[in-house]
Amino acid sequence: MSFKPTSYKLMNVADGHILEDAGWTLADPASQGPSLVRAVYENKKFSPDPELDGLYRYACWLPIKRTLKNSCAPVTYRSKGLAKHLGLDNLYITFSGWHPEIGATFRTCSFKETEAYSVCARLDAKDKVLVVQSAGNTARAFAQVCSDNNIPIVICIPFDCRYEMWFSEPLNPCVKLIAAPAGCDYFDAISLGEKLCKDSRYLAEGGAKNVARRDGMGTTLLSAVEAIGRIPDAYFQAVGSGTGAIAAWENNQRLIEDGRFGSNKMKIFVAQNAPFTLMYDTWKAGQRALVDLDPEEGRRQVEIILAKVLSNRKPPFSLAGGLYDAMKDSGGDAFLADNSQIRYWIAKFQELEGYDILPAPACAVQALATAIEEGKVKKDDVVMLNITGGGVEAAKERGIVIKEPDLVLSPDLPAEEIVAKVNALF
C-alpha cells in the first residue's frame, strides 16, 4: 500500500506560535529565546495502524513522509519477576532491544532505532548527506537504518567508542564513520559534525531539536499505553540528553488531549550514572540553567562511568520544552546509580526477566528501586520502566562485524579541511 505523509504543523513551545514545517525545520526563526518546536498533528486521536509494519504502526503521531524497511516497534509487557522483587503490582516494562521471544527485534539492540526510523522517514532531500553525532547507540542505529535503506550519512563518534560500531553484516558504503581522536568525548564528536555542516552538502540531523527524533522515541510511551490501556502514573528512564523523557512527556500531553486514556500527567523520573551527574546536579540545585562542568572534568567522569551513552555535556535541559520543563510540569525527580549498582541490576534483571540489558537501562532500574525506597512510587502505582536497550548477548551470538572509522579527524581542524577530507570519501 502507498503511504500518505502524516499531516502536522509545528508549535514553538515557548510562546505557542504555530508554523509550517519547511521540510527540516529545527527551530522557530521568529522565536524570542531558545525553545523546542513540537509537532501538532492533525489527527488528535491515538490510532495505531495495523496495516503498517514495525514502528510505523504509530505513523499517526510521527512527522514522516514515507516508511522504511526493517523497523520494529517497542514491546511492552507486564512484569512478573522484577515486579515481585520490587513489590510492585503494576509494573510494565517497555523493551527496545533484541529478544525475539517477546517480539522485540531491534537488530542494534537499542531504542535509538526508533529515532533513526522516524528521522530518516522525515528526510526527503535527495542531494543532502545526513550528519549524526553519537557516543554509541545512536550511531549504530542510524548506521543500520541508513545502510538498509541506502541513505547517505556521515556519523561522528569519539574514537574510544569505535567498538560500539558492531553489526550483523557489513554496511552499505553509503555509511561513512568519522572519529574524533582517542581521549575525545561526545562533545568533541558534536563539534566535528557542526564544522562539517558548515558546508551546504551536509544536513545536521538536529538531535533533540528534530521533532522526528523525539516523536520516534515517544513511541515507547505509545507502546505502553496501547498495552496498558491508560497513561501510567510514573515513567522511568536513564538519560544522557533527556530527549526520550521529553518525548514521553510530549506524548503524555497528546494522550490527555485524546481523552480516552486518562487525564493524568505521569511523573517523569530520570537517572544518571555517577559520577557524571550534570542534569542530576542541576535539578537538585533547583535551577533551569545547567551547573558548570569543566570540560576536562567531564571527560574524566566519562572515562569512569559504565553507561557512557549518558554523558552529554550539552543536553536539552534548559530551553523551553526541555527536560527541566518536563520534570517540573510532571512532578518528576532525578536519581543516581553508580557502576556497582548498574552491574548488580544487569545481573539481577537477567535473572528475573530472562534477558540481558545495557548499562543505561540498568541505571533506570536502580532509579526505580530508589524511588520505591523513598516512597515516591507506591505499590499499586502503574509504572512504566523504559528499558532502552538489551539483548546484546543473544544478538552477538549471530556473529558481528566491526565498522572501522573511515577517517580520524581532530575537531580542532578548520571546517574547510574537515569538509574536504569527508568529501573525498564520497
Q: What is the tens place of the pLDDT at every residue in 281-314?
A: 999 999 999 999 998 898 899 889 999 889 888 8
241 vs 206: CA distance, rounded Å:
13
pLDDT at 42 over 60: yes
Which residue segment(s) compose the domain that 276 sits in? 75-109+212-395
397 vs 128: CA distance, rounded Å:
36
pTM comes to: 0.95
**pLDDT for the residue 162:** 87
pLDDT at 126 over 80: no
268 vs 335: CA distance, rounded Å:
11
Express each pLDDT in 135-186 by its tens digit. 788 999 999 999 999 999 999 999 888 888 999 999 999 999 999 998 887 7
Q: Is residue 384 part of a domain?
A: yes
How high does pLDDT run on average in the chain? 95
93 vs 96: CA distance, rounded Å:
10
407 vs 153: CA distance, rounded Å:
14
CB 125 within 8 A of CB 23: yes
pLDDT at 125 over 80: no
Sheet holding 234-238, edge to edge: 75-78, 90-95, 382-387, 234-238, 267-273, 333-337
The total of structural domains in the chain comes to 1
Q: Is residue 188 part of a domain?
A: no
Q: Is residue 155 part of a domain?
A: no
Give 243's DSSP letter: H
Q: Is residue 156 part of a domain?
A: no
Nearest to 405 by CA among 140, 159, 136: 159
115 vs 408: CA distance, rounded Å:
26
Residues 6+ apart with CB under 8 A from 197: 131, 203, 204
Q: Is residue 408 part of a domain?
A: no
Q: Is residue 186 part of a domain?
A: no
CB 339 within 8 A of CB 273: yes
Three cell numbers written together for 369: 528501586
Q: Is residue 339 part of a domain?
A: yes
Three cell numbers written together for 28: 522557530
Q: Is residue 41 part of a domain?
A: no
pLDDT at 337 over 70: yes
Give the domain CATH number at 373.
Answer: 3.40.50.1100
Using the structure block, give the residue that is written with the C-alpha cell 572509522: 405
Residues 6+ apart with CB under 8 A from 3: 52, 56, 59, 66, 67
List b or e across 378-387, with b for residues whose CB sees 16 or more CB atoms inside 10 angstroms: eeebbbbbbb
**pLDDT for the residue 112:** 95
Residues 6+ apart with CB under 8 A from 165: 139, 140, 143, 157, 177, 402, 403, 404
Three cell numbers written together for 191: 563539534
HSE at residue 34, side-chain half, CA atoms within 13 A, is 10
Express each pLDDT in 247-289 by its tens digit. 999 999 999 999 999 999 999 999 999 999 999 999 999 999 9
328 vs 344: CA distance, rounded Å:
30
